[in-house]
C-alpha cells in the first residue's frame, strides 16, 4: 500500500480511501439494497479485506442512507485499532446546533466516542451559505469547539463545484482537510499548465487533500458506451491511476462493495508503473 502525509493533520494515511457512498445508498451505480443483511455483510467483508491489505482511510456520512453507511462502517471497524485507521464522516447541517447534533448522531452510528475527521458535508456553497458557515457562532466555529472537546481530531469540508466559496473556505485557516471532486473528466481543481486551481490553493495552505468521484461516478463509462457501443475494456484501473498520478492528492476515495473490488483497487494502487506524468499529458508542443 502507498501512504501519504495528510497535510496539516500530520497523519500518514493510505492513498486509497474506502468511500462509503455506495455502502449506504440504494441502487447507486447499480442495483443494491444496503438494508439487506447479505449486502451489508458483503460491505463488512470488503472493509475487513481493506484493513488486511493496508487501507487505513475510511470515509462515510450520515446522508449515505440516513445513517446506513455509518452503521455498517461502525460494525465493521468496531474492533479495529483506532490508532491505525483514519475514520472520517460528515455533518449534514444548516447551523451550529444541527452540526453538533449531526456529529453526535454519527458517533453513535460509528460506535465511537471520537472520530479522526468531521467534515461539513456540501456540494455547492453560495456566497450566502459560505457567510453562514464561517460567521461567528456558525457551523465552522461549532466544529472547532467539538475539536477542542476531543470529539474530532480534525475538521474539513467537502465540495464538488469550483467557485469563490471553495477559496474562502481554504483561506479561512479553519480547516485541516478538503475533500473535492477531481477525476479525468472534472479536472478543474488542478490545472498543471498554469499551476492554478483549488488543489494548488489547498496545498499552499497546508490542507490534506482527498478526491472523490475518482472513477467519475460512471459518467466516463457511459460516454464510452455511447461513443463505442461495442467497447468491452474496463477503464477502472486507468481512471484510478489518473487521480493517483496527481502529486498533490493525498487520498483517492473509491466506493467498494466487495472484497474482490478492494483487491483489484489495491493492486492498482501498488502498480506504480501505471502512473502518468500529468505535466507531460498537458504539453501541447513538441
Domain count, the chain: 1
pLDDT in tens, 66-113: 889 999 999 999 989 888 999 999 998 778 888 889 999 999 999 999
CATH of the domain at 62: 3.20.20.100
pLDDT at 16 over 90: yes
Copy the grid coordinates of residue 97.
Answer: 446546533
Rounded CA gap, 199 and 207, in Å?
9
DSSP readout, 161-183?
A: S-SHHHHHHHHTS--SEEEEE-S
- Is 180 part of a structural domain of the chain? yes
Q: What is the pLDDT of residue 92?
A: 82
pLDDT at 65 over 90: no
Determine which helix (DSSP H) or strand (DSSP E) holds 4, and give its type and residue range. strand 3-5
pLDDT at 246 over 90: yes
Rounded CA gap, 176 and 235, in Å?
32
Q: Taking all residues of the chain, what is their mean pLDDT, rounded to a whole number?
A: 92
- Is 251 part of a structural domain of the chain? yes
Q: What is the pLDDT of residue 23?
A: 84
pLDDT in tens, 137-176: 888 999 999 999 999 999 999 999 999 999 999 999 999 9
Q: How far is CA 18 from CA 139, 173, 196, 203, 253, in A?
A: 26, 27, 28, 22, 6
Rounded CA gap, 249 and 14, in Å?
11
Query: Please, which pLDDT band fits residue 27 given cuts at 50, 70 and 90?
Result: confident
Rounded CA gap, 164 and 5, in Å?
27
Mean pLDDT for 207-224 is 93
- Is 285 part of a structural domain of the chain? no
- Listed residue (185, 192, 178) closest to 251, CA to CA: 178
Task: Find where cell 484493513 sits.
Answer: 51
Q: What is the pTM of this model?
A: 0.92
Question: For residue 118, what are the domain limits?
Answer: 3-274
The phi-psi region of residue 51 (left if phi > 0; otherwise alpha if psi is between -120 and 50; otherwise beta) is alpha
- Is 284 part of a structural domain of the chain? no
Query: Please, which pLDDT band fits residue 34 given cuts at 50, 70 and 90?
Result: confident
- Is 58 part of a structural domain of the chain? yes
pLDDT at 29 over 80: no
DSSP readout, 44-90?
A: HHHHHHHHHTT--EEE--TTTTTTHHHHHHHHHHTTS-GGG-EEEEE
- Is 47 part of a structural domain of the chain? yes
Rounded CA gap, 66 and 5, in Å?
31
- Is 195 part of a structural domain of the chain? yes
Q: What is the pLDDT of residue 30?
A: 74
pLDDT in tens, 117-133: 999 988 889 899 899 88
pLDDT in tens, 175-201: 999 999 999 999 999 999 889 999 999
Helix%, strand%, coil% for the chain, nearest 5:
45, 15, 40
**4-18, 60-74, 251-265: segment of lowest average pLDDT:** 60-74
Q: What is the pLDDT of residue 123?
A: 86
- Is 286 part of a structural domain of the chain? no
Q: Can you say how many angstroms the Cα of residue 52 is from the centroid of all Cα atoms in its chain? A: 20
Q: What is the pLDDT of residue 153?
A: 96
Amino acid at each position: 500500500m502507498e501512504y501519504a502525509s495528510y497535510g496539516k493533520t500530520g497523519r500518514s494515511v493510505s492513498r486509497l480511501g474506502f468511500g462509503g457512498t455506495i455502502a449506504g445508498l440504494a441502487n447507486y451505480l447499480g442495483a443494491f439494497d444496503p438494508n439487506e443483511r447479505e449486502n451489508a455483510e458483503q460491505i463488512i467483508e470488503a472493509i475487513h479485506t481493506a484493513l488486511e491489505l493496508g487501507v487505513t482511510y475510511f470515509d462515510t456520512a450520515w446522508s449515505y442512507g440516513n445513517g446506513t453507511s455509518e452503521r455498517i462502517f461502525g460494525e465493521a471497524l468496531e474492533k479495529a485499532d483506532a490508532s491505525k485507521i483514519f475514520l472520517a464522516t460528515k455533518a449534514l447541517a444548516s447551523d451550529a446546533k444541527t452540526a453538533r447534533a449531526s456529529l453526535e448522531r454519527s458517533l453513535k452510528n460509528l460506535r465511537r466516542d471520537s472520530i479522526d475527521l468531521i467534515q461539513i458535508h456540501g456540494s455547492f456553497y453560495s456566497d450566502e451559505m459560505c457567510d453562514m458557515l464561517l460567521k461567528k457562532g456558525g457551523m465552522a466555529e461549532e466544529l472547532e469547539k467539538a475539536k477542542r472537546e476531543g470529539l474530532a481530531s480534525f475538521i474539513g469540508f467537502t465540495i464538488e463545484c469550483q467557485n469563490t466559496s471553495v477559496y474562502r473556505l481554504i483561506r479561512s485557516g479553519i480547516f485541516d482537510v478538503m475533500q473535492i471532486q477531481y477525476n479525468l473528466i472534472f479536472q478543474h481543481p488542478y490545472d498543471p499548465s498554469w499551476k492554478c486551481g483549488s488543489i494548488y490553493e489547498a496545498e499552499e495552505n497546508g490542507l490534506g487533500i482527498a478526491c472523490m468521484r475518482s472513477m467519475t461516478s460512471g459518467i466516463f463509462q457511459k460516454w464510452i458506451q455511447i461513443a463505442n457501443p461495442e467497447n468491452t475494456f474496463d477503464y477502472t484501473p486507468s481512471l484510478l491511476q489518473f487521480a493517483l498520478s496527481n502529486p498533490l492528492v493525498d487520498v483517492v476515495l473509491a466506493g467498494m462493495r466487495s472484497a474482490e473490488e478492494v483487491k483489484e483497487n489495491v493492486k492498482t494502487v501498488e502498480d506504480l508503473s501505471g502512473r502518468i506524468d500529468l505535466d507531460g499529458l498537458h504539453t501541447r508542443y513538441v
